[in-house]
Amino acid sequence: MSAGPYNYSYIFKYIIIGDMGVGKSCLLHQFTEKKFMADCPHTIGVEFGTRIIEVSGQKIKLQIWDTAGQERFRAVTRSYYRGAAGALMVYDITRRSTYNHLSSWLTDTRNLTNPSTVIFLIGNKCDLEGQRDVTYEEASKFAEENGLMFVEASARQMGNRGDNVEEAFLETAKKIYQSIQDGRLDLNAAESGVQHKPSQPGRNNLSADQQASKDNCAC
């Protein structure tokens, strides 16, 4: 209990975007629950997940907004770009159309987030090598041209490639943390997508605060 859910110093907000059926919810599930969800229902509007990770010895809570890929929810999911510190843009390596739509996803991301938002491109379902429709080189070139970080991953396959799911979330966090260290990301800006939490006392733990102030007074 003492290592409760408030023992972290930052909150980073992520958004996962991409066409319908590319496996956004499965990536989230894999990352937060470490399980593959075989029959994942269509997301209605938005789903949510959290996990606490560690970057450079700092505990960071990731708040992840998993948006619906269906066109009919596009308007409502657009609002979640606001205040996202990281955006995971997902396509399906077995369906070229999902790759072709990346530029429109990227435009949305660039328009609706702030310049310091880290964008990570994920080619999902790389366990289905036989059905591959987009080569690694092609996507890698696209990522490079647009200044995105890129990885191919599989939410289904744990082990070598499944780890890439983990890597995508962690690398994004590292880059955001780096921006904070460099002072490029303003923690006080409302839409930065990053909140700093004083790590020690639970912020609403009145008795602890009072205790602390008493200690300070007894000088």
Applying CB under 8 A, among 37, 55, 82, 158 the residue interacting with another protein is 82
202 binds another protein (CB under 8 A): yes
70 binds another protein (CB under 8 A): no
Distances (CA, A) of 178 to 6, 172, 187, 190, 203: 22, 10, 13, 19, 25
Q: Which of 82, 62, 46 is nearest to 9 (CA)?
A: 62
204 binds another protein (CB under 8 A): yes
- Closest separation in Å from C-beta 139 to another protein: 28
Stretch binding another protein (CB under 8 A), from 45-53, 90-98, 151-159, 178-186:
45-53
203 binds another protein (CB under 8 A): yes
Size of the site for another protein (CB under 8 A): 33
Applying CB under 8 A, among 9, 73, 158, 174 the residue interacting with another protein is 73
C-alpha torsion angle, residues 63, 127, 38, 66 (rounded to 10): 20
CB nearer another protein, residue 128 or residue 170? 170
How many C-beta atoms lie closer than 10 Å to residue 115's C-beta? 7
173-212: string of b/e by CB count within 10 Å (b at 16+)? bbbbbebbeeeebeeeeebbbbeebeeeeeeeeeeeeeee
Applying CB under 8 A, among 52, 187, 189, 212 the residue interacting with another protein is 52
Give the binding site for another protein (CB under 8 A).
3-7, 32, 44-48, 50-52, 63, 65, 73, 75-83, 112, 202-207
